[in-house]
């Protein structure tokens, strides 16, 4: 009896890990380039100023220097067009690829130096003479709103636009409400710090008039389209190769100034040019994120039923609107209600420009902030009303029979969405049970061995599966294996493994027959859409299912010709195509017929995973140190493709959330100077900081709109962490009436809360 494949759902170890553990990964700096020139970038040390002169003469005379490129050498300086949410109001704030007449943040590229060695390029950088007239910095939201100093004179203001999320009638919900409460919240500026820094290798072939760029990732085809337009080249004259990546998290792979400057230099010099940033550049030049505040008000009945939410928020976008700079603000407004039955909402968020590094998306963009705002307010409301915090949430969770639930539409972007499937009570119950809530609740606020203990719980939604589509291609090889090419990119999430699992099941073959999974690069497909918003499995995996069906049809048709039967009479049995009377033909021999297939999955439906997190902390009142004693996460992801990779995604995301809740801060001073330029100043979680993190995944409610039933699951781990940790700290310090409404909860900040309570 033949065994049916069941790789989907199996804990298959990551195929990628073997080459990484053997030191055979190929990151950008590992790509062989013996004849490459090396580039370094002169970045502005001034937050806001007019460039009066750039003297590059001395730098050009330094040994080994091949070129010093400024805006004047480029001519009409192109801008980086937005990838998402582009409306006319955003266009004046898009970033030029190099400072052109003005600098607007510390770290903005002013000149590119290319030399035979990196050391020579760095030496020449010191010989460029700049004359910059310093302007008053716009260092924070207050200065941005004041408009006394304006980043873009043609617009006359630093306030770009106000986004509005409206559902129901919030004014009516608040009228004569038995209970209301308004609070102010703030989430600091922080972002992803990937294992290896960004880098590029660009090569121009003069004879073929062809540009090859290695190091792109995440949205490779989209970046090719941007670069082609900027350089005046047809897209087919540009090849983009995806190297290995030690994590993307939304930050890595967007289009940055360097993504134009390095290819431009390679074409100008007709030579390979390599650039790899150092850690300071990585911290100051890659997209920042979060940096949001709001004043939020809740209206409830006395039994805890929520009547409505309303409020006003603001995000600090930094100096420019980069490719997805408005996404986090839009998300924060749209998912502010989370998984709760809140029929009435009016929330506005201002998009403000300042003299800081531009912002973009970082794992759970906008959702991390929104959950912190909402869950903090929920705990305070429950306490005021004398209702158990779990009962308060349970009462207001959207019920399964209410699905799909419409989330607010965000204007003027005119973007709306709705949930798909879910039983939010189940994940909350699982989380509380596995966490041991009933026993741990006895510790609430208790002083034990000099530390105050607190526990908290929070619920959340995770949106994923962004469209519009994804493409894959399958090829039957001469050894009988199948090669798979996908438009999804690898950003450290295990694409090669999970795609192979899906393909093996869809083809009903052993995984060993999936010869290789190639991803991202523009050489494999006519078009690909990349990896962001937890879409790779939902979109790319669903395309595999379609392509596998087409490939099996092609195999049956080819085998039927060989065996002189009908295609419907052919069965595929691992190594062979089998016809009537057990006559067979090896799959390897059919490869000569050029058997291949393409699959495309298109969808306008987003997926919504959901879950609950609980935390137990102990706070030292003398030092303000917050120790994590236990952390429990439960999420329903529709259908689990690989529990091992899913678990790694979840725990890793939780650690990033804990870093944001307790440690990380991309700080600036009042002059717009960056204060977190090294890992001594910017504190990241280490392996020993949070030793007890538990995560359980459920697959009770498959997604209804894709053939796998899968939902995105790459971001859920980070979304609720800020709110859960802040509430646990508040509960630990209840005797001090502490209100931890500002992140991160560093020891000095928590100590100040204790002192204020005394």
Assign 444 a pLDDT band (cuts: 50, 70, 90).
very high
596 in the same domain as 547: yes
Q: State how far the Cα of 756 lies from the Cα of 758, in Å rounded to an integer.
A: 5
Residue-wise pLDDT for 588-621, tens only, equals 999 999 999 999 999 999 999 999 999 999 999 9
pLDDT at residue 573, as a whole number? 86
pLDDT at residue 592, as a whole number? 93
Q: State how far the Cα of 743 lies from the Cα of 368, in Å rounded to an integer.
A: 12
Residue-wise pLDDT for 47-80, tens only, equals 999 999 999 999 999 999 999 999 999 999 999 9
Average pLDDT over every residue of 615-636: 98
Given a cut of 60, is residue 86 above it in pLDDT?
yes
We report the CATH number of the domain holding residue 484 as 3.30.365.10
Residue-wise pLDDT for 135-147, tens only, equals 999 999 999 999 9
Average pLDDT over every residue of 676-697: 94
Residue whose tokens read 């059919």: 590
Query: What is the end-to-end Cα distance of the chain in Å, rounded?
Result: 74
Residue 237 lies in a domain: yes
Take residue 100 and report the two structure tokens written for it. Answer: 């052109």
Assign 3 a pLDDT band (cuts: 50, 70, 90).
very low
Q: What is the DSSP string of 319-362?
A: SSB-TTTTHHHHHHHHTTTTTB----EEEEEEEE--SSPPB---
Q: Which helix (H) or strand (E) holds 562?
A: helix 542-563
Q: Are 329 and 351 in contact (CB under 8 A)?
A: yes
Closest C-alpha to 213, from 240, 188, 178, 251: 240
Pairing mode, strands 37-43 and 607-619? unpaired
Assign 455 a pLDDT band (cuts: 50, 70, 90).
very high
User: 201: Cβ–Cβ under 8 A, 6 or more apart, which residues?
Assistant: 28, 31, 33, 36, 213, 214, 215, 262, 272, 273, 274
Sheet holding 406-411, edge to edge: 179-190, 289-300, 306-316, 345-352, 159-167, 406-411, 415-418
218 in the same domain as 126: yes
pLDDT at residue 516, as a whole number? 86
Residue-wise pLDDT for 165-215, tens only, equals 999 999 999 999 999 999 999 999 999 999 899 999 999 999 999 999 999
Residue 173 lies in a domain: no
432 in the same domain as 547: no
pLDDT at residue 495, as a whole number? 95
403 in the same domain as 356: yes
Average pLDDT over every residue of 727-749: 98
Assign 687 a pLDDT band (cuts: 50, 70, 90).
confident
Given a cut of 80, is residue 2 above it in pLDDT?
no
494 in the same domain as 456: no
226 in the same domain as 104: yes
Closest C-alpha to 722, from 205, 417, 368, 291: 368
Domain count, the chain: 3
Assign 664 a pLDDT band (cuts: 50, 70, 90).
very high
Task: Choose the final residue of a domain: 552, 578, 602.
Answer: 602
123 in the same domain as 46: yes
Average pLDDT over every residue of 571-588: 92
Q: State how far the Cα of 741 lies from the Cα of 757, in Å rounded to an integer.
A: 14
234 in the same domain as 103: yes
Which residues are bridge partners to 302 per DSSP?
none
Q: What is the DSSP string of 508-524?
A: T--GGGEEEEEES-TTS
Q: State how far the Cα of 218 lies from the Cα of 528, in Å rounded to an integer.
A: 10
pLDDT at residue 4, as a whole number? 59
Residue 165 lies in a domain: no
**Rg of the Cα atoms in the chain:** 27
125 in the same domain as 35: yes
What Å distances lie between residue 204 and 79, 243, 272, 361, 689, CA to CA? Answer: 22, 18, 7, 31, 46
Q: How many residues does the chain have?
A: 758
Residue-wise pLDDT for 295-354, tens only, equals 999 999 999 999 999 999 999 999 999 999 999 999 999 999 999 999 999 999 999 999
Residue 309 lies in a domain: yes
Q: Domain range for residue 585? A: 16-26+469-525+536-602
Q: State how far the Cα of 727 lies from the Cα of 707, in Å rounded to an integer.
A: 39
Given a cut of 60, is residue 1 above it in pLDDT?
no
Closest C-alpha to 125, from 213, 38, 50: 38
Q: State how far the Cα of 436 lies from the Cα of 368, in Å rounded to an integer.
A: 25
Residue 729 lies in a domain: yes
Given a cut of 60, is residue 22 above it in pLDDT?
yes
pLDDT at residue 470, as a whole number? 97
446 in the same domain as 572: no
Average pLDDT over every residue of 92-105: 98
The percentage of the chain sitting over the pLDDT mark of 90, rounded to a whole number, equals 96
Q: Are 509 and 440 in contact (CB under 8 A)?
A: no
């Amino acid at each position: 009896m033949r065994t049916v494949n069941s790789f989907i759902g199996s804990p298959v170890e990551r195929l990628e890990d073997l080459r990484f553990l053997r030191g055979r990964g190929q990151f950008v700096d590992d790509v062989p380039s013996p004849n490459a020139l090396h580039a370094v970038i002169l970045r502005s040390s001034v937050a806001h100023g007019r460039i009066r002169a750039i003297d590059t003469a001395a730098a050009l005379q330094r040994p080994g220097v091949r070129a010093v490129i400024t805006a004047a050498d480029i001519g009409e300086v192109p801008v980086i067009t937005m990838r998402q949410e582009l409306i006319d109001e955003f266009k004046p704030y898009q970033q030029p690829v190099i400072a052109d007449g003005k600098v607007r943040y510390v770290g903005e590229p002013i000149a590119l130096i290319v030399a035979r060695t990196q050391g020579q390029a760095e030496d020449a950088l010191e010989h460029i003479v700049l004359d910059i007239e310093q302007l008053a910095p716009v260092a924070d939201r207050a200065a941005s709103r004041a408009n006394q100093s304006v980043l873009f004179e043609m617009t006359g203001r630093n306030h770009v636009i106000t986004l509005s999320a409206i559902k129901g009638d919030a004014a009516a919900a608040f009228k004569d409400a038995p209970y209301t409460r308004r609070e102010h919240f703030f989430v600091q500026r922080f972002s992803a710090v990937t294992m290896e820094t960004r880098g590029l290798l660009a090569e121009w072939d003069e004879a073929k008039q062809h540009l090859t760029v290695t190091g792109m990732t995440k949205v490779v085809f989209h970046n090719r389209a941007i670069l082609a337009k900027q350089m005046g080249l047809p897209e087919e004259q540009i090849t983009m190769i995806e190297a290995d990546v030690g994590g993307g998290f939304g930050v890595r792979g967007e289009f940055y100034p360097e993504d134009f400057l390095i290819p431009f230099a390679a074409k100008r010099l007709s030579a390979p040019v390599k650039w790899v940033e150092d850690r300071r550049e990585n911290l100051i030049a890659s997209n920042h994120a979060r940096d949001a505040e709001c004043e939020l008000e809740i209206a409830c009945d006395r039994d805890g039923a929520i009547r409505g939410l309303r409020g006003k928020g603001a995000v600090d976008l930094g100096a420019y609107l980069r490719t997805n700079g408005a996404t986090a603000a839009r998300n924060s407004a749209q998912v502010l209600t989370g998984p709760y039955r809140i029929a009435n909402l009016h929330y506005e968020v201002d998009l403000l420009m300042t003299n800081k590094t531009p912002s973009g998306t970082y794992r759970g963009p906008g959702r991390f902030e929104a959950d912190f705002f909402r869950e903090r307010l929920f705990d305070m409301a429950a306490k005021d009303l004398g209702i158990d915090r779990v009962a308060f949430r349970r009462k207001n969770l959207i019920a399964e029979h209410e699905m799909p639930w419409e989330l607010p539409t965000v204007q003027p972007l005119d973007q709306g969405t709705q949930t798909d499937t879910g039983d939010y009570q189940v994940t909350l119950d699982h989380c509380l049970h596995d966490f041991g809530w009933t026993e741990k609740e006895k510790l609430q606020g208790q002083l034990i061995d000099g530390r105050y203990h607190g526990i908290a719980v929070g619920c959340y939604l995770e949106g994923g599966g962004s469209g519009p589509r994804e493409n894959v291609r399958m090829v039957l090889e001469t050894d009988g294996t199948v090669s798979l090419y996908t438009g999804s990119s690898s950003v450290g999430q295990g694409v090669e493994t999970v795609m192979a699992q899906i393909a093996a099941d869809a083809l009903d073959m052993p995984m060993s027959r999936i010869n290789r999974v190639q991803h991202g690069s523009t050489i494999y497909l006519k078009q690909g859409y990349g990896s962001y918003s937890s879409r790779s499995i939902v979109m790319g995996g669903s395309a595999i299912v379609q392509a596998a069906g087409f490939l099996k049809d092609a195999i049956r048709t080819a085998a039927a010709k060989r065996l002189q039967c009908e295609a419907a009479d052919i069965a595929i049995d691992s190594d062979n195509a089998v016809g009537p009377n057990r006559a067979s033909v090896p799959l390897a021999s059919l490869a000569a017929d050029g058997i291949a297939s393409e699959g495309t999955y298109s969808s306008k439906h987003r997926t919504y995973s959901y879950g609950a997190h609980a935390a137990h902390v102990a706070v030292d009142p003398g030092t303000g140190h917050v120790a994590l004693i236990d952390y429990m996460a439960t999420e329903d992801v529709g259908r689990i493709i690989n529990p091992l990779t899913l678990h790694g995604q979840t725990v890793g995301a939780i650690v990033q959330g804990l870093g944001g809740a307790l440690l990380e801060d991309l700080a600036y001073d009042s002059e717009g100077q960056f204060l977190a330029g090294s890992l001594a100043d910017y504190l990241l979680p280490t392996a020993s900081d949070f030793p007890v993190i538990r995560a359980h995944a459920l697959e009770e409610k498959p997604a209804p709109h894709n053939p796998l039933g899968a939902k995105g699951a790459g971001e859920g781990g980070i979304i609720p962490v800020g709110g859960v940790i802040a509430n646990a700290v508040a509960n630990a310090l209840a005797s001090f009436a502490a209100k931890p409404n500002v992140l991160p909860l560093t020891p000095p900040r928590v100590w100040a809360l204790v002192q204020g309570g005394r």
